[in-house]
Every structure is written in structure tokens, then in C-alpha cells.
Amino acid sequence: MTETNKRAEGIESLSRQELFDLHRHYESVVKDQLAFCYQYLNFYTGLLSALLAATLVALLNMRHGLILELALLLGPGVTGALSLIGYLNVRVFYRRFIEAWVTTMNIESMLHLRYAIPVDLGKDKQYIPKHPTKEEGGFIATFEREPVKSILKEKKYAEDVLAETVKTGDTLRYARWTFFVFGGGSLLLAVVIVLAAFLNLT
């Protein structure tokens, strides 16, 4: 089959160099998206901390009428809303990070860097690492938690690996707990504000 016929039928071949270029691109995407994920997480954590602290200070200095005291409920309300929005934002960038990570793993397996069966290149062409990886068939060391390892061991489509890894991944799980604590703290603070307002009234 000629090159023209291949292109006409939509059959394209990638050279090893093109795969390396793709790998370099997706590695940079992995770093960028994970950085965005942490930037948003840090931004919202700082903002929510400041909101809760300001509301708490206002609560401790409450000496006004009932309406003004109940107006403090805006603090916990905004904190709760921003907790949800913050989590959804972090989740978007975390999903993009996992997409690029799964694509990078696929490219690495195609290049026989890891996640692939080692290829015997002959006696004169073997590149044997001093410390080969235990399960991945390569030389790039990685640390993965057992739930993620078990996902990678199974033969799945990339989309299934993406969906399951997003559910079990550390970063998003910790972000979820962080925003959950802020949401719970804002709810508790709202209850305290209501009780304090009515106790001051009596």
C-alpha cells in the first residue's frame, strides 16, 4: 500500500520521534493541570479561611439588633457556596490532569518505556536498568497507591481508567474533604449565629 493510499484511507503511522514529541507535550500538560488544580485549591482554601475567620470575629463582637446579627449568616452562606464552587473548579483541572496522565502512560507503553512487555533488542542493543520496575515492565519509577495500581493492572479502555482514577485519586479526595470541612464549619457557624442572636434578644 502506497503512502498516498494510506493517507486516502485515513491510515497514518507515527514515527518514534513523533511519539516522543507527543509524550513531551502531554507531560507538560500533566504538570500544568496539576499546578492549576493546586493553585485553585490553595486560592479557595485561603479565601474560605478568611471568610470564616471574619464571620467568627464579627460573631464574637456582636452587640447589634437581631437583623444585623442575622445578617452575619451571609458569611456561612457565602462560605458554603464557595466551598461547592471551589470543589467543582478543582475537579475540572484534576480530570484534565488525569486525562493527560492516562495519555502519557499510553504513549510510554507504546515507546516501551513502562507499562509494556520488555522487548529483546538483541545482545548488542539491550539497555538494562540497574533497578528495573517490579510490575510495569520498564525503568521509570513510580509510586501509586494500591487502588490505582489495581485499576492499571486490568485491561480497560482509557475512559474507564480515567473515570475510576478520578474517583480514587488522592488529590481530589483530599480536596473533597477540605471543602467538606469548610462547608460543615460554615453550617455549624450559621447555627451558632442564630442561637447567639436569639439569646441576645432574650
Question: Based on the structure, what is the number of domains in the chain?
Answer: 1
Percent pLDDT > 90 in the chain is 2
Angle at 175 between CA 172 and CA 177, to 5 degrees: 115
**Residue-wise pLDDT tens digits, 28-41:** 988 998 898 889 88
Position 3 scores a pLDDT of 47
9 has pLDDT over 50: no
Query: What size, in residues, is the chain?
Result: 202
89 has pLDDT over 50: yes
Q: Tell which residue, 84, 82, 93, has the closest CA to residue 169.
A: 93
pTM: 0.68
Asked whether residue 123 is assigned to any structural domain, the reply reads: no
> Sorting pLDDT into bands at 50, 70 and 90, what band is 43?
very high
Asked whether residue 11 is assigned to any structural domain, the reply reads: no
DSSP per-residue letters across 124-187: GG----SS--SSSSSS------HHHHHHHHS---HHHHHHHHHHH-HHHHHHHHHHHHHHHHHH
Asked whether residue 42 is assigned to any structural domain, the reply reads: yes
C-alpha cell recorded at residue 1: 500500500
73 has pLDDT over 70: yes
Position 166 scores a pLDDT of 83
Contacts of 115 (CB under 8 A, 6+ apart): 105, 108, 109, 136, 137, 138, 152
Per the structure, the complete domain to which residue 94 belongs is given by 16-116+128-201
Asked whether residue 67 is assigned to any structural domain, the reply reads: yes
C-alpha cell recorded at residue 19: 511519539
Position 12 scores a pLDDT of 62
> Sorting pLDDT into bands at 50, 70 and 90, what band is 15?
confident
Asked whether residue 6 is assigned to any structural domain, the reply reads: no
Position 115 scores a pLDDT of 65
Asked whether residue 150 is assigned to any structural domain, the reply reads: yes
Asked whether residue 121 is assigned to any structural domain, the reply reads: no
- Give CA separation, 117 vs 113, 133, 136, 139, 197, in Å: 10, 12, 8, 12, 68
Asked whether residue 20 is assigned to any structural domain, the reply reads: yes
For 66, the 3-state DSSP assignment is helix
Give the span between the Cα atoms of 43 and 137, in whole angstroms. 39
